[in-house]
Amino acid sequence: MGYESLALRRKIAGRVGAVILCLSLALAIDGMIAGGRQDPRAVDSLPGQSLPLDDVMPRGAEKLTDLRIAASDPRVAPRLNGTDSGFWLGGVLWRARLEIPADTPPGLYTFEMLHANGTRTSPRQLFRIAVYGNESELRAASLSLSTRLLGLPAYGLAAALLPLALLPMAASYLLSRRIALALRERGLAEIFRAMASPEGQRVFFALPPGAQPPQDTLITVRDEEDTRDLGQARIVTCARGDAEAVMLDGANVRPGTLADFGPVLRDVAEGIPAE
């Protein structure tokens, strides 16, 4: 397979990987926006569901017997079942389980956590439980776009997509190695780094094993398709299989363009001095 075909395949793999990463990022943003808009004391549910609830133990309450629950409908009222201490904000949490009966009519229900004497807590702990008639209605009420469209949680989709990006990344890596070999046969190498400097733009590329062009050797830099010359560069250093060169006449190139060192290596092999 030739260089052109390999380069096209690598470009496709890179774009596929970029699309997957962008989709994962968009889903994560969708999840964050939905979470930011969601009232932490608002719950969407269906009849027959069982939901865990928790909140900060109100000031002045030390144990569950210091609390009582006032519900708009006794059928939609949680049962306190314990406390948790040492959570990341410090303090104590109360825990409860909300069992929504299967015959609960759709609608909005509320319950409020009060002190045992009936006074409100500070801050107020008022929960709103929206019970929907079916899964479609529950999905349509979601604040997450991905959940409304696909019925799946945004974070779950993002986590599932992210590992898939490894496949095009691996394909791109393997194709890059094959491209390097294909270019080497033509006396070319991809420029993998380009940076500005006072002397002119510096470019870096790999050399074939054993190749060591003399300092100040001139090379030609060509475009990614190997169809036209972009300028010349002068080699300043060669170390550990990589060469560093400075572009001449103010020319600037980008990573991915090609360094044509074939004539240089032929001249070195034939004992012709560098220009």
What's the confidence (pLDDT) of residue 269?
Answer: 44
Note whether residue 25 is domain-resident.
yes
- How many percent of the chain have pLDDT more than 70? 93
Number of domains in the chain: 3
Q: Are the C-beta atoms of residues 46 and 132 closer than 8 Å to each other?
A: yes
Q: Do 84 and 159 belong together in one domain?
A: no
Q: Are the C-beta atoms of residues 75 and 104 closer than 8 Å to each other?
A: yes
Q: Do 4 and 25 belong together in one domain?
A: yes
Summarised one tens digit per residue, pLDDT across range 227-252 is: 899 999 999 998 888 899 999 988 89
Summarised one tens digit per residue, pLDDT across range 151-192 is: 889 999 999 999 999 999 999 999 999 998 898 888 899 999
What's the confidence (pLDDT) of residue 70?
Answer: 94
Answer whether 0.85 is exceeded by the pTM.
no
Mean pLDDT taken over the chain: 89
Number of Cβ atoms within 10 Å of the Cβ of 13 = 20
Summarised one tens digit per residue, pLDDT across range 25-65 is: 999 999 999 999 999 999 999 999 999 999 988 888 888 99
Q: Are the C-beta atoms of residues 172 and 14 closer than 8 Å to each other?
A: yes
Note whether residue 138 is domain-resident.
no
Q: Do 168 and 228 belong together in one domain?
A: no
Nearest by Cα to 28 from 149, 154, 148, 166: 154
Q: Do 46 and 177 belong together in one domain?
A: no
What's the confidence (pLDDT) of residue 120?
Answer: 93
Note whether residue 214 is domain-resident.
yes
Note whether residue 54 is domain-resident.
yes
Residue 71, pLDDT above cutoff 50: yes
pLDDT confidence tier of residue 85, bands split at 50, 70 and 90: confident
- The residue range of the domain holding 215 is 186-270
Q: Which residues pair with 238 in a beta bridge?
A: 243
